[in-house]
Amino acid sequence: MGVHGVCKVLLLLILFEIVSSTQLQITKLHKQKPPNSSSKSHKGNNKKKPVVPPNQQSCNIFVGSWVQDDSYPIYQSSNCPIIDPEFNCQQYGRPDSAYLKYKWQPSGCNIPRFNGLDFLTKMKGKSIMFIGDSLGLNQWQSLVCMISAAVPKSKTQFTKHDPLSSFKFVEYGVTVSFYRTPYLVDIDSVNGKRILRLDSISQSGSIWKDVDVLSFNSGHWWSHKGQLQGWDSMELGGSIYEDMDRLVAFDRGMRTWSNWVDTNIDTSKTRVYFQGVSPTHYNPKEWKDDSGRKNCYGETGPLGGETYPGPYPDQMGVIQSVIRDMKTPTYLLDITVLSELRKDGHPSIYSGNVSPDQRLNPNRSSDCSHWCLPGLPDTWNQLFYATI
């Protein structure tokens, strides 16, 4: 065989190896199972270091402790009529006020004190919308009160409806709104039955699209059962379910939300936030309290240190996973652990939603889910301000 013949044989062998290798790779790819969110486990300790804000590259502002500061609060509930009765603890008889005198101190840096005038100047002509459940309502009312305290004589416009309420600082063209949708995904009434549509956002999205800053939250309503449950059945992929694992349902709903954001949000115009899960304090054993208390009633101060001895919400594992998979940059306002330390910040029985008779039985009637205003949500907004 001549030199040309040898070369042809070698060339054929090389081509055979390339084709065989390619076919093997294609075969391996075809055998991989498609991703299935229901197979992912979010249970257990899902603690992930909170996202470091873009303006503080070396400091995690969500890791720190609470320190006393008598210069707080920056507003009084009596001067902010927007506060709902359920959050207005001082008006409804809370006897202590020390819980108002704390500030959040990150371990490795300082965060700016909230400046309402600076906020309005930076956001002039823009819109901010909180979207979610009553914890989003809590934060929205807090931010309006904080800004209003800085410009008490500024002309404003306030409209309150369900699902959309808004507060506009007319001189600055800044609108701060709240859109109530506890699950973020659609819920429809069909023949008198409420159907939670895990793979649909059609009713609300058109209102969100043109807002400059969107801050979403969801979580608490997904675990409610019995009379507190907000739906009668779930729909997913055209099938109806009477119930399913609530963490799986939350994951499916959150991925529908993330797909909506990735498809509809113009990142050159709109910035997206997601608020971490706001904790509840119904079990004093979580914070090693042996006093005999049954819930947050009677708590007057925060826990010391940087960590909470109780469990970390499983839902945070879902939220962190979904945000990691998104194309749209989404800032996690990771307020969970710093809020877990504030067992003293809830209304308990000092809420306009608690009747005089119910206040006689704080073990059964205390609200240890929402937060007093002024109070903890003011710190959420201070962190929001530091990152915006």
Residue 142 identity: S
Name, in order, each residue with C-beta under 8 angstroms of 35's C-beta and a sequence gap of 6 or more: none
Structure tokens at 45: 């300790």
Catalytic site residue from 42, 220, 281, 370: 370
Name, in order, each residue with C-beta under 8 angstroms of 72's C-beta and a sequence gap of 6 or more: 100, 101, 102, 103, 374, 378
Residue 196 identity: L
The tokens 């400091």 sit on which residue?
59
- C-beta separation of 278 from 315 below 8 A: no
232 as an active site residue: the answer is: no
Give the burial class of 309: count Cβ atoms within 10 A of its Cβ; 0-12 exposed, 13-18 middle, 19 or more buried. Answer: exposed
370 as an active site residue: the answer is: yes
Give the burial class of 268: count Cβ atoms within 10 A of its Cβ; 0-12 exposed, 13-18 middle, 19 or more buried. Answer: exposed
Catalytic site residue from 134, 142, 218, 339: 134
Give the burial class of 297: count Cβ atoms within 10 A of its Cβ; 0-12 exposed, 13-18 middle, 19 or more buried. Answer: buried
Strands of 233-236's sheet in order across: 187-190, 193-197, 233-236, 239-241
Tally Cβ neighbours within 10 Å of residue 375: 26
Catalytic site residue from 314, 334, 344, 367: 367
Q: Which residues of 115-128 are buried (b: 16+ CB within 10 A; e: fewer)?
A: bbeebbeebeebbb
Cα gap 176→381, rounded to integer Å: 12
Q: Which residues pair with 380 in a beta bridge?
A: none
Catalytic residues: 134, 367, 370
